[in-house]
Structure 1
Amino acid sequence: MTPNAIGAVVNHVADRIIGMPIIGPRVAIDGPDGAGKTHFAEALAAALQNRRRPVARISIDDFHNVRAVRYRQGRHSPLGFWEDSYNYSRFRSDVLEPFAPQGSRRFRRASYSHVTDEILDPPFETADPAAILIVDGIFLHRVELRAQWDLTVFLDVAFTETARRMALRDGTSPDPDHPSMRRYVEGQREYFRQSQPQQRATILVDNNNLHAPGILRG
């Protein structure tokens, strides 16, 4: 990814955030697995911090349900992936509510250990009163969450491309139609059908080419 290409898109999003009439907005970076959400969120956080804006960075991947809940509909179930992956109750109480207007800014970064498969209760941290919350992850336009965001970004990437990236990253199949990918691809397609994140996002970014991302809307 060339610095100029990502920089132009990130700076556009940073400008939109800074121009909002809200102190410490809550920002979601959404998109399919392998879309580049974490990289984008980190670049956005750096751009805001370079402008002397405090930032709190969270990933919803640290708010997974335990495996027994995630796989209760079957290890390969697309609906299980869509319905049971995350602990939204903890995510709201530990992150979204503290960063709401007039919120305490007293938050937790995680509720789950991927190593031990246990629910966590880490110490609370206290963010700057003006901290901008930037969260990356999938399914962030779900009905349980969508009204909580002040600005959202959706990184639009075809499954053929995300599967290729995930194969390089995780060693999974590069074919999105491979049976081993069905849980994840079909679960995300169900998300698209139910939540229409591409249509709901404040800013829609074409991130199919990491070297030349582009703003489609917003």
Structure 2
Amino acid sequence: MTTRWAPAKKDTLRELATEIVHNYGRGRVLVAIDSDGGAGAAGLADDLLEAFREQGHAAFRASLAGFEKRPAGASRDSAPVLDESLFRRVLVEPFRMGGSTGWVDRAWDADADRAVESAWVTGPADAVLLVDGTDLARPGLAGLWHYRVWVTADDSRLDARARASAVVDNSDREHPRRRFDDAC
């Protein structure tokens, strides 16, 4: 049995963080950590956050799930949907403004079906905000991101991979691999 070599998770994520800082080192940068839901995007985003911080770059985290709620009158079994207005108003727009403007990294608890107590966050003028979620390139969100990482555990969703700035194969969570899909 042969074992394929795979880079260590920290090396893959350090390289990705270095690339993002190289291309977007100044100002407030929004990075989407996108997936179809089963590829471990949230965990990868948490680990990428640490890679930014190791390099001394200010970085923050949010999850699209923190802005999803059930439509009024919907049953508890129904899936929550993104409140895009809330997402933009309390996270995206204040983060982009920079300065001392505060933002909220989570506004809604879909499981409890209620708002969460606001915890306002501020950061320096040069900072990265990593947002994980599903289908972050959909209409209404696609133009928000400076950089978009597509996290996959298989070769499905070629359309989503083609629109990403970077593709990470996360089928082995301890050894994620950067995929360089030729989009030419």
Normalising by structure 2, what TM-score?
A: 0.80
CA shift, 1:141, in A, is: 1.1
Say whether residues 1:57 and 2:53 are aligned partners: no
Q: In structure 2, give the amino acid aligned to 1:139.
A: D
Partner of 1:205: 168
In the comparison of the two structures, how many residue pairs are matched?
Answer: 176
CA shift, 1:16, in A, is: 1.0
Q: In structure 1, give the amino acid aligned to 2:135.
A: F
Partner of 1:137: 133
Matches within 5 A, 1:177-196: 196=159
Measured in 1, the distance between the counterparts of 2:112 and 2:172 equals: 36
Deviates more, 1:7-16 or 1:102-111: 102-111
Matches within 5 A, 1:105-184: 105-120=101-116, 122-158=118-154
CA shift, 1:123, in A, is: 4.3
In proportion to residue count, which structure has more strand? Answer: 2
Normalising by structure 1, what TM-score?
A: 0.69
Q: In structure 2, give the amino acid aligned to 1:107.
A: W
- State the Cα RMSD in Å: 3.0
Q: In structure 2, give the amino acid aligned to 1:10.
A: L
Unaligned runs of 5+ residues in structure 2 are 1-5
Partner of 2:15: 12
Measured in 1, the distance between the counterparts of 2:23 and 2:146 equals: 9
CA shift, 1:213, in A, is: 2.4
Partner of 1:166: none
Unaligned runs of 5+ residues in structure 1 are 76-80, 160-188
CA shift, 1:15, in A, is: 1.0
Residue-by-residue CA offset, 1:85-128 (whole Å, 9 max, x unaligned): 21111111111112226576421122212353113461433222
Partner of 2:92: 96
Tell me the percent identity: 25
Partner of 1:171: none
Are the counterparts in 1 of residues 104 and 119 from structure 2 also a CA contact under 8 Å?
A: yes
